[in-house]
């Protein structure tokens, strides 16, 4: 848990979520792992996902989530993890964004890379997202720009603002997005990205997930402290 006390952040050894006292709240949302590639959806049917990726014995009950309008791929849910295979990517999402479930998602992603090495891979991404009910003053100051002043002076109303940075991290990149909304809320996205067509390289990148999590916490402290 991340606790804000007198504008300082105290991070215990085990981080379950990021919650602040009222009126500011920051909550982890929509963490996931995305493996880009030309996936064979004929293999990754719900039964195939259950056996190949979840590693479940035949006949184990799973949930199949279907978009009634047919616009999204079928998703397969077992316990607290959802897998969404499509022709261009495999998305693995913990229903509750915490490190314990993220580690389970990592194990599934590694299984996909190791058991389906014939898949033409192109990249992998691990994403942490944090939503602020009310954006901290430090982020408002960081997002200020002369461009905003010029637009406002000419009576252009700015609804949303996005601050983007790409940071070299180990042998890949950290794509950092800070999205400031008109309603004073905000979203911070940490995308750890690695381009490679080799399953071994992608697996080795994913093995750094603990370091990614720790680095995310470090940057959150840097961004929020004034």
pLDDT digits (tens, 9 = 90+) for 162-195: 889 999 999 999 999 998 887 888 999 999 999 9
Mean pLDDT across the chain: 85
Using CA atoms, how far apart are residues 32 and 97, in angstroms rounded to an integer? 8
pLDDT digits (tens, 9 = 90+) for 16-72: 444 444 445 789 999 999 999 999 999 999 999 999 999 999 989 999 998 887 778
Q: Model's pTM, two decimal places?
A: 0.84
User: What confidence score (pLDDT) does residue 91 get?
Assistant: 98
Residue from 187, 166, 170 nearest 178 by CA: 187
Using CA atoms, how far apart are residues 80 and 67, in angstroms rounded to an integer? 19
Using CA atoms, how far apart are residues 102 and 94, in angstroms rounded to an integer? 6
Reply yes or no on whether the pLDDT at 158 is more than 80.
no
Share of the chain above pLDDT 90, in %: 62
């Amino acid at each position: 848990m991340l606790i804000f006390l007198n504008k300082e952040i105290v991070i215990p050894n085990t981080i379950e979520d990021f919650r602040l006292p009222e009126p500011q709240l920051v909550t982890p949302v929509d963490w996931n792992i995305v493996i880009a590639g030309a996936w064979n959806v004929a293999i990754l049917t719900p039964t195939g996902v259950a056996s190949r990726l979840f590693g479940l014995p035949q006949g184990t009950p799973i949930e199949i989530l279907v978009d009634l309008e047919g616009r999204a791929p079928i998703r397969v849910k077992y316990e607290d993890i959802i897998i969404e295979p499509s022709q261009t990517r495999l998305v693995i999402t913990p229903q509750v964004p915490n490190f314990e479930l993220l580690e389970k998602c990592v194990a599934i992603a590694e299984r996909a890379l190791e058991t389906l090495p014939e898949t033409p891979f192109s990249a992998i991404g691990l994403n942490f997202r944090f939503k602020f009910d009310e954006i901290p003053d430090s982020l408002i100051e960081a997002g200020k720009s002369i461009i905003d002043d010029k637009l406002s002076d000419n009576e252009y109303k700015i609804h949303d603002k996005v601050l983007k940075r790409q940071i070299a991290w180990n042998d890949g990149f950290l794509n950092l997005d800070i999205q400031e909304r008109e309603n004073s809320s905000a979203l911070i996205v940490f995308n750890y990205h690695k381009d490679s067509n080799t399953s071994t390289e992608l697996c080795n990148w994913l093995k750094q997930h603990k370091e990614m999590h720790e680095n995310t916490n470090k940057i959150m402290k840097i961004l929020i402290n004034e």
